[in-house]
Homo-oligomer: A and B are copies of this chain.
């Protein structure tokens, strides 16, 4: 494998190629192949971007059909037939059946651009600058989004420019089992000298992906929604990683039956790994004036096409969601078993997550790395998350064949044993 030019020319900022130092070429559903023909089961799936697997045939077929003619590929924010098809699918397949009434903004086609748009919209709508965010939250690294992202790695690499406009509060469970962290939020809201500027909105992940696969309780999320309503604060669910079916429902907040004011989606939204993102907003919040937020790639017709195909293929009924839930239970069970074994080695470990967004917290990044490095040797691509990388996480394609899933889990278990025995 020739990696010289890659190592020489690409900035030192690169990361995943350090954990997986091979040149990948082919990829199909849950399997990656490197240049030397070696196959790997993929429990990373583009960090949650490939919920429908690599090169999903139905979605790809839609792409190829679109490309077969000279259909418009890049259309700024023109009206296009591709965009219309996507909006129709979104409305009919996703929003209407869930009783959701949202307008849609297409910002620049990445998660952080969607978050920047979402929090700016909230600020403009409410006339307040503050956004509440939570410990271990990750919402992107452009400066606006970074104000709501907790990771020091990014926050300390801004060249000395502090972020403005975000206030961190403890996420569900952060203060230990006995404490409802929303008590603190509510106290601060009603306290005129508590130091919390009344926020325009609260941005929250229902399962924190980068933060360590922390799933907030449904009751906690419901209470958060109530607090927001009571104080005229907008609830923004960042569903970039947890959305598109990852937790076993299309939107992760469906589990709690809350209705966010604003939702951000990206990652798996295009279905095939194409850059794409959207901001959903309650219609009355659409205070944007024409052109107040822009971006060159906000009308990427190939992504509209694949995104529509993804909705049409997987979400016309609840069978896919149920399959995800079922696989999630398989993972949960095995992860509990592995965690138990690790515990027997004297290392505290526990399973966590929701749907197919699952992790094993092994307490330290060093231990987690040992396991994932061994897993890679054994043919499994799997990564860690959490503040110290202490959580081995499974973000496999939702479409993973059960045998691949089980094989991947076998490899992981074997690798943990190899690594820690």
Complex contact A6–B87 (CB within 8 A): yes
Which residue of B50, B140, B191 is within 8 Å of A136 (Cβ)? B191
Task: Tell me if A152 and B193 are in contact (CB < 8 A).
Answer: yes
**Interfacial residues of chain A within 47-101, with CB under 8 A of chain B in the complex:** 47, 49-50, 54-55, 60, 63-64, 67, 69-81, 83-84, 87-88, 90-91
Q: Cβ of A194 and Cβ of B150 under 8 Å apart?
A: yes
B290 near A73 with CB under 8 A, answer: no
- B84 near A5: Cβ-Cβ < 8 Å: yes
CA distance A372 to B311 in the complex (A): 38
Contact B116 A143 (CB under 8 A): yes
| Known contacts A73-B55, A110-B108: A24-B128 contact under CB 8 Å | no
Contact partner, A84, options B6, B112, B130, B137, Cβ 8 Å = B6
Asked if B9 and A91 make an inter-chain contact with CB atoms under 8 angstroms apart, the answer reads yes
Q: Which residue from B142, B184, B291 sits with its C-beta under 8 Å from A113?
A: B142
Q: Which of A267-275, A315-323, A352-360, A409-417 contacts B (4 or more CB under 8 A)?
A: A267-275
Q: Are B192 and A153 in contact (CB under 8 A)?
A: yes
Whether, in the assembled complex, A345 has its beta carbon less than 8 Å from a beta carbon of chain B, the answer is: no
Q: What are 16 residue pairs bridging A and B, where the CB atoms are less than 8 Å apart in the complex?
A: A9-B91, A10-B104, A11-B103, A14-B290, A15-B294, A26-B69, A27-B73, A74-B273, A110-B110, A135-B188, A136-B195, A144-B158, A154-B292, A175-B175, A275-B275, A275-B297
For residue A135, which residues in chain B have a CB less than 8 angstroms away from its CB? 188, 191, 193-195
Chain B residues lying within 8 Å of A72, measured Cβ to Cβ, are 24-27, 32, 54
Which B-chain residue is minimally distant from A197 (CB atoms)?
B155
A313 within 8 A of B: no
A75 to B: closest C-beta gap in Å: 6
Contact pick for A54, options B73, B193, B281, CB 8 Å? B73
Alpha-carbon gap, A88 to B159, bound state (A): 31
With A6-B79, A151-B193 in contact, do A112 and B108 touch (Cβ < 8 Å)?
A: yes
Q: Which B residues touch A50, using CB under 8 A?
A: 74
A86 → chain B, closest Cβ, in Å?
10
A161-169, A217-225, A331-339 - interface stretch: A161-169
Top 3 A-B pairs, shortest CB-CB distance: A123-B159, A74-B273, A168-B195
**Which of A50, A124, A138, A150 has the most chain B CB atoms inside 10 A of its CB?**
A150
Q: Select the residue from A60, A71, A167 with max chain B CB neighbours within 10 A.
A: A71
Residue of B nearest to A169 (CB): B195
Other-chain residue from B67, B103, B108 in contact with A9 (beta carbon distance below 8 A): B103
Which single residue of chain B is at the shortest CB-CB distance from A365? B192
A129 proximity list for chain B (CB < 8 A): 159-162
Q: Once the chains bind, are A295 and B110 in contact (CB under 8 Å)?
A: yes
Q: Are B70 and A110 in contact (CB under 8 A)?
A: no
Minimum CB–CB distance from A188 to chain B (whole Å) comes to 7
> When the two chains form the complex, which single residue of B28, B122, B297 contacts A159, counting CB atoms closer than 8 Å?
B122
Interface hits, A199-239 → B, CB 8 Å:
200, 210-211
Shortest Cβ gap from A154 to chain B (Å):
7
Contacts of A137 in B (CB 8 A): 193, 195
Further pairs besides A154-B294, A175-B175, A179-B179: 6, Cβ < 8 Å: A20-B78, A44-B76, A60-B67, A108-B110, A136-B195, A142-B142
Q: Indicate the member of A2, A24, A26, A129 with the most B CB atoms within 10 Å.
A: A24
Q: Does A399 make an interface contact (CB < 8 A)?
A: no
Residues of B within 8 A of A272 (CB): 73-74
Q: Are A127 and B159 in contact (CB under 8 A)?
A: yes
- In the complex, whether A421 has a CB less than 8 A from a CB of chain B is no
Cβ contacts under 8 Å, A88 to chain B = 5
Residue of B nearest to A82 (CB): B25
